[in-house]
Homo-oligomer: A and B are copies of this chain.
């Protein structure tokens, strides 16, 4: 498998054009953080904003909005039960991330259904965490959007049908081909692999480590992927996801030089500095 190379990162994280607007860097819509998992969508939002997203809106439990704003007044936030705002934001967004801290419930299945019905091929749709579980046990057809899945191993089992011991490189690669062409799959684990349907070769991370084995790491990754997906139209969605995933673990590796465990929120704070460093290499 391939590993991410410097020049690939530099093709993605380019200098911004002088004359630009926040709309140019993605309108992100993040859905999740339902009780008792409120923190998950906060971590995703922190990662998205620090990745340079132009606008970030969060739909979550209303009880979760104060903690969201305590961390991040930069994000808008509303009650996930508000159907009108939900529909409006699904339509407005350039990138939809659904799943961090999303409980498996009838209500949330209906949310997923509404997204699948409303989303278009112009939009990036990222399914993470609870959204993968909900989708796997549903009969839904995948919508015509630019799809990204970010399963950990048990979620990959549900999604691909491959049990934990069968998740070899070859079988995962083949399973990915069943998704619509261009779909990106981030198969999370100690050695995360990033696949896209229609291409045989995938990427495997050569950065990151066990200091990342702590709750919230995946939520932060999902937020970074959403942040990158809303920017960098000069490269493919696959390349954006690959570089976001690489950077997430590269930052963790760097922080681990001084820390036995790396907290997800400390990764987010470092993103702007690292993106700057990479964009300067160009």
Chain A residues within CB distance 8 Å of chain B: 13, 16-22, 24-25, 35-40, 42-43, 46, 49-57, 62-67, 69-78, 85, 190-191, 209-211, 213-217, 256-265, 271-276, 279
Contact = CB atoms under 8 A, between A and B. Distances in A.
Given A17-B210, A22-B214, A275 B263 contact: no
Given A52-B261, A215-B55, A18 B69 contact: no
Contact of A13 (B53, B67, B260): B260
Contacts of A264: 73-74
Contact of A272 (B63, B70, B262): B262
Contact of A66 (B22, B63, B260, B279): B63
A260 B52 contact: yes
Nearest to A213: B22
Contact of A214 (B74, B85, B262): B74
Give the number of copies in the complex.
4
Nearest to A52: B261
B211 A16 contact: yes
Given A261-B52, A272-B259, A76 B36 contact: yes
Contacts of A39: 69, 72-77
B75 A69 contact: no
A43 B261 contact: no
A56 to B, nearest CB: 6
Nearest to A22: B213
| Residue from A191, A211, A217 having most chain B Cβ neighbours under 10 A | A211
A14 to B, nearest CB: 10
Contact of A36 (B77, B211, B273): B77
Contacts of A40: 73
Contacts of A257: 276
Given A53-B214, A74-B215, 13 more contacts: A16-B210, A16-B211, A16-B260, A20-B213, A36-B78, A50-B261, A51-B261, A63-B66, A66-B70, A74-B263, A260-B274, A260-B275, A263-B272
24 contacts: A16-B211, A19-B210, A20-B190, A20-B213, A21-B190, A36-B57, A38-B65, A39-B73, A39-B76, A43-B74, A51-B261, A52-B260, A52-B261, A54-B215, A63-B65, A64-B69, A66-B66, A67-B69, A73-B216, A74-B215, A74-B265, A258-B272, A260-B274, A261-B275
Contacts of A21: 190, 213
Contacts of A263: 49-50, 74, 272
